[in-house]
Amino acid sequence: MCGIAGILSLKAMVVDTSMIQSMINAIAHRGPDAEGIWQENEIALGHRRLSIIDLSSAANQPFADNSGRYIVVFNGEIYNYNDVKKEINDYHFRTTSDTEVLVAAYAKWGADCLYHFRGMFGFAIWDKAEKELFLARDCFGVKPLYYFIDDEVFMFSSEIRSILASNKVKRKVSIPALYEYFSYQSVSSPYSVIEDVSQLEAGSWMRIKNGVISKKRYWDVSNPKSDLDFTNLDAVQKNIRSLLLQSVERRLVSDVPVASFLSGGIDSSAIVGLMSEVSSSKPNTFNISFEENEFNESKYAELVAKKFNTNHTNILLKPSSLLDELGNALNAIDRPSADGINTYVVSKAIRQKGISVALSGIGGDELFAGYPVFSQYLQLQNRKFFWKLPSGLRKIAASVLFSGSNKNNRIRQVLNAPSCSIEDLYPFFRQIFSPEQIAAFSSSLSTTDHITSVQKDLESRKQNIGSLPLLSRVSVAEYLGYTQNTLLKDTDQMGMAVALEIREPYFDQDLVEFVLNVPDKFKKPVYPKSLLVESLKPLLPDEIVFRKKQGFLFPWSIWLKNELRSFCNDHITNLSQRPFMNEKALLSYWQRFLSGDKEIRWAEIWVFVVLEHWLKKNEVG
């Protein structure tokens, strides 16, 4: 796990190494173990290393293949690199690193090397012979990759702040990105919050040669391929267990100790149980506990740790720890996100115990229908008749039945949707603010000129998605929406802020491709994530399976009105003065929240606070 950056002059000018130095200095937190720069004429590559596989300096980057033709900078892990290595018989390896396997695979197969990899990554390879730069990102977008291009230069990095550090980019906010952010609390590909900085889409590669960019999507979550058996429940469950075990085993490949988050919930407990089966040593597990019973899940984590005989560490925190770390967490974010503060606090606590790699149970809900949105979607499918009514009649019914609150506003939008297909409904399920609300808050944003990237992505995949089981359609929407743009990005930026590599076994290509093809009759939960539990039976004790889910339910609403009131007020007031905001509407919304208006959630206020903090810290106008 690392941080990467690069500069390619499109005018064949020699690159100033001080610029690439500034870029990698900005992401030093991602790689505290080593720093490297390679520069030759019009190209410069930079790297910050967190040493995980082959700890020797021979594996430092930028790294050249044994011919010297290809130079790579690589962020992430190729979990199956030893298997790929066996397929490359015409290359003499000098290290035991996955980095060298990656560049050797590219030398052998070119872009097709991506079909061989199982991992999380963002990387760039410079071909000295062809004067060509190749960049790629993993299937799910676990690892970020941003880029900027104008008439003179192409630049890329693992983080936006690194590109800004080059001083080549105007620090101007992107209006389309603001629309995305207000809609879903994060910004989705291809946008970034900076006007001229873009994201490479997940599962895609791009090539730059002679100033011309070509792109290709090499993997698409809406078109999962699998030739395994889906007709027999026993066979389905056996395959799920086998694939999940394989995924966990892949993610234990490391030359440093690997730990696991353990909340005591189904997802993390399953990961720990499988770790105990495939690991040659006792798993290291970490749980964050609290003195307050309403927050504390430690008894469940201890039950799991005892069952699987782990080296368990319980880290006691106070809820106020979140407040104490709030400034550090907000300064750590690379792009505005109203989520992720919890991840920062937990990651920092584990990193301080000397751990640099940890497995996480995130992704289980998306894959095994664990969120309420799955059951909500099925319920709507049973009421398809409503969408057969004339649109005018539906609008009248929706306006009469639902008015007033944000929740009712969302229901009204659902009922007014063109159809009850997932591409028409999902954008409302995860919505923070409606188009009408956004238009009221921001004078620069229209209700008609902006369609979110999530909507575009779903619409462009309509045919593929429509061929999947109903529950899998929701999973695909989640992967393209909240999961990719909020959950995974927050996990990366908050973990890497403290140099902790977080690996996610539920985001495994082979596992996901199989489960997305599983029929609804097998996947529909009889109890929470029953397909996952039954596939692993008797791995998980009933106390874990049937416990009440808690999670980090901290009193944010109270904090925003008390301990954080002055902080929030300053940020919201400053944001209201920005040219793209409607001052009166925003300040009125804030006052309604303070006066106890139950229609306004604390998360809606926090969206504004985080945005202003990020804009001010990064001097973006």
AA letter at 245: L
The rounded distance, in Å, linking the Cα atoms of 611 and 347 is: 23
Question: Is 313 in the same domain as 404?
Answer: no
What is residue 541's predicted lDDT score, i.e. its pLDDT? 94
Question: Is 337 in the same domain as 406?
Answer: no
The b-or-e profile of 118-138 (16+ CB within 10 A means b, else e) is bbbbbbbbbbeeeeebbbbbb
Residue 605 and residue 593 in contact, taking contact as beta carbons nearer than 8 Å: yes
Question: Is 11 in the same domain as 150?
Answer: yes
Residue 46 lies inside a defined structural domain of this protein: yes
Residue 564: DSSP 8-state: T
What is residue 228's predicted lDDT score, i.e. its pLDDT? 86
- Our count of domains for the chain comes to 4
Angle, helix 422-429 to helix 453-460, in steps of 10 degrees: 160
Question: Is 86 in the same domain as 175?
Answer: yes
Compute the half-sphere exposure of residue 344: CA atoms within 13 Å on the CB side of its CA. 24
**Taking Cα atoms as reference points, which of 61, 31, 62, 33 lies closest to residue 48?**
31
| Residues that are catalytic | 2
Question: Is 358 in the same domain as 404?
Answer: no
Helix (H, G, I), strand (E, B) or coil at 5: strand
Helix (H, G, I), strand (E, B) or coil at 409: helix
Residue 223 lies inside a defined structural domain of this protein: no
Residue 218: DSSP 8-state: -
Q: What is the CATH number of the domain that holds 142?
A: 3.60.20.10
Question: Is 64 in the same domain as 33?
Answer: yes
Question: Is 257 in the same domain as 182?
Answer: no
In which domain, by residue range, is 594 found? 556-617
Phi, psi of 302 (to 5 degrees): -65, -35
Residue 228 lies inside a defined structural domain of this protein: no
Burial group, residue 46, by CB count within 10 angstroms (0-12, 13-18, 19+): buried
- As averages over each run of 10 residues, the pLDDT of the chain (621 residues) reads 94 93 97 96 97 94 97 97 96 96 98 98 98 98 97 97 96 93 92 96 97 96 92 96 98 94 94 94 88 75 95 85 88 90 88 94 96 91 81 66 62 80 91 90 71 90 96 97 94 96 98 97 95 97 84 77 95 96 96 94 95 96 88
pTM of the model: 0.94
